[in-house]
Amino acid sequence: MPTLIPANTKAVVFDAYGTLFDVHSAVARHAAQVGPEATRLSEIWRAKQLEYSWVLSLAGRYESFWSLTEKALDFAFARCSTADYSVRPLLLDAYRGLDAYPEVRITLQALRSRGLRTAILSNGDPAMLSASVSAADLGSVLDAVLSVDAAKIFKTSPDAYQLALEELSLNVDEIVFVSSNRWDVAGAAVFGFTPVWVNRLGMPDEYTDIPPHAVIDTLYGLVQ
């Protein structure tokens, strides 16, 4: 059993976007067609996608994450005047099959070989997640793929994290939750999960009064 993971752990649950899948890979595939503002477009797209999920949750409303993804992309295009809008359908198609980070499959296999269950708990809607998992060929190394769509509210609502307990029939202290999003790590910690932050980009810490159990720079840190 890896020392980073507590001995009583029975499942490791992963966020999807930014943790298993590279959210900027969609624009990266078509960067030449998007134009010189490709990086800026991708950053705005991701930021607004998340902002919309938080605003709707606080307002007591819900839309599918795919709908928010489309609206966020349109906003990003409106902000990036030189970006070629004709690429929009290609970007949305690419988002359904985002690149998985290179260590994802190996890490999931290693965790399962040690008797741990593996799952995704994501803001993505079921169709989005199914497409991404299939494109990355991860179905055989995941025990469950959970969408907050079942709760009709986005993370960091406790109702979203509760889905993992119900689906896996586990206690909160039996789950390690892994995310590259520091806000998600904070939400998981408050809920009671053992949270691990994948700080791929070496970002400064936030929510310092709600610390992670551990910080790693890639998922390999879970199994080393």
Q: Which residues contact 77 (CB under 8 A, 6 or more apart)?
A: 41, 83, 85, 88
CA of 128: how far to CAs of 17, 49, 123, 156, in Å?
11, 14, 10, 19
Q: Where are any strands of DSSP class E within the chain?
A: 11-14, 117-122, 144-147, 175-179, 194-198, 214-216
Nearest Cα neighbor of 77 from 87, 68, 67 is: 87
In the set 15, 99, 149, 184, the catalytic residue is 15
Amino acid at 113: S
**Known catalytic membership, residue 15:** yes
If DSSP codes are grouped into helix, strand and coil, which group holds residue 157? coil
Residues with a catalytic annotation lie at 15
